[in-house]
């Protein structure tokens, strides 16, 4: 075993032990049912998982190799003696990757894509796509062809990832709105709930700082958008803009959840 693998496995064992100790069988059953998950669940909340990860990494010297080895050991924990994938360990892996993402780049897109394909739940896909891929893709142009390919993937979780990679930059008043809307336009009439929700979510957050831009893009497409998408889009628009979009869609304010 290499030095990096040994270090990573030691850290993974610490994280696994601490998470198992903080787990709750009652919460585990509830989480598993809520997420419709086939993974093992320890029943640890996000704040506790984050605390465990931060404590484990506080004095650790991570480089690229140790980071990837650690994430791999948490994601598929057979190397540390755990027979089946554990949701809480996969959640910890996403936090490890997020915390140390400055060690990653476009060369790791295959690694990240594999995790996204195996995740199969918004609770893992969303932080990987939004908190990791998004910030990396904003500043590394080599991610461009990756996102383009993802946007047309047969797996809706990968398509959702292509959308959510735009969330943080657009939310913060930057980002590639043209590319996001090109992706969104091609997916606007898709039937998957998680695609419809993602389009609305990104547009909703973009509208916090640039409502006119969102309104102008959405108006000629309102008749094609799902109710799920529209309920998100209108939340940060002016009353006049909401009314115009809902009229274009043919939906009442009350049904759209306007406030």
Indicate which CATH number applies to the domain containing 107. Answer: 1.25.10.90
229 found inside a domain: no
Question: Domain range spanning residue 169?
Answer: 3-187
231 found inside a domain: no
111 found inside a domain: yes
Of the candidates 228, 230, 190, the residue with the CA atom closest to the CA atom of residue 214: 230
User: pTM value?
Assistant: 0.93
**Residue 254: pLDDT band with limits 50, 70, 90:** very low
3-class SS of residue 8: helix
**Residue 61: pLDDT band with limits 50, 70, 90:** confident
- Residue 251 has a pLDDT of 65
CA pair distance 89, 227, nearest whole angstrom = 35
54 found inside a domain: yes
Q: Residue 9: pLDDT above 70?
A: yes
For the chain, the domain total comes to: 1
83 found inside a domain: yes
DSSP label at residue 1: -
For 196-225, write each residue's pLDDT tens digit.
999 999 999 999 999 999 999 999 999 999
- Whole-angstrom CA distances from 106 to 67, 111, 135 are 15, 10, 11
Q: Residue 65: pLDDT above 80?
A: yes
233 found inside a domain: no
101 found inside a domain: yes
Q: Which pair of structure tokens corresponds to residue 165?
A: 């990679």
DSSP secondary structure, 87-142, as one string: HHHHHHHHHHHHHTGGG--GGGHHHHHHHHHHH-SHHHHHIIIIIIIHHHHHH-GG
207 found inside a domain: no
- Residue 255 has a pLDDT of 47
Instruction: Quickly count: other Cβ atoms within 10 Å of residue 5's Cβ.
Output: 17
Range 88-99 average pLDDT: 97
């Amino acid at each position: 075993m290499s030095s990096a693998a040994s270090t990573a496995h030691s850290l993974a064992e610490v994280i696994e032990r601490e998470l198992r100790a903080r787990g709750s069988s009652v919460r585990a059953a509830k989480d598993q049912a809520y997420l419709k998950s086939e993974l093992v669940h320890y029943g640890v909340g996000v704040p506790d998982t984050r605390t465990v990860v931060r404590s484990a990494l506080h004095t650790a010297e991570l480089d690229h190799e140790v980071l990837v080895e650690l994430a791999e050991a948490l994601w598929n924990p057979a190397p540390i003696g755990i027979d089946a994938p554990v949701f809480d360990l996969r959640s910890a892996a996403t936090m490890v990757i997020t915390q140390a993402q400055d060690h990653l780049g476009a060369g790791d897109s295959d690694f990240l894509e594999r995790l996204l394909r195996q995740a199969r739940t918004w609770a893992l896909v969303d932080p990987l796509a939004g908190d990791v891929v998004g910030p990396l893709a904003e500043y590394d142009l080599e991610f461009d062809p990756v996102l383009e390919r993802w946007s047309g993937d047969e797996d809706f979780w990968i398509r959702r990832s292509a959308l959510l990679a735009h969330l943080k930059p657009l939310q913060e008043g930057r980002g590639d709105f043209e590319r996001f809307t090109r992706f969104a336009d091609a997916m606007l009439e898709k039937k998957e709930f998680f695609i419809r929700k993602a389009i609305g979510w990104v547009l909703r957050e973009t509208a916090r700082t640039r409502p006119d831009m969102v309104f102008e893009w959405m108006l000629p497409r309102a008749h094609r958008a799902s109710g799920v998408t529209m309920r998100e889009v209108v939340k940060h628009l002016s009353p006049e803009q909401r009314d115009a979009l809902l009229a274009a869609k043919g939906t009442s304010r009350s049904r759209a959840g306007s406030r």
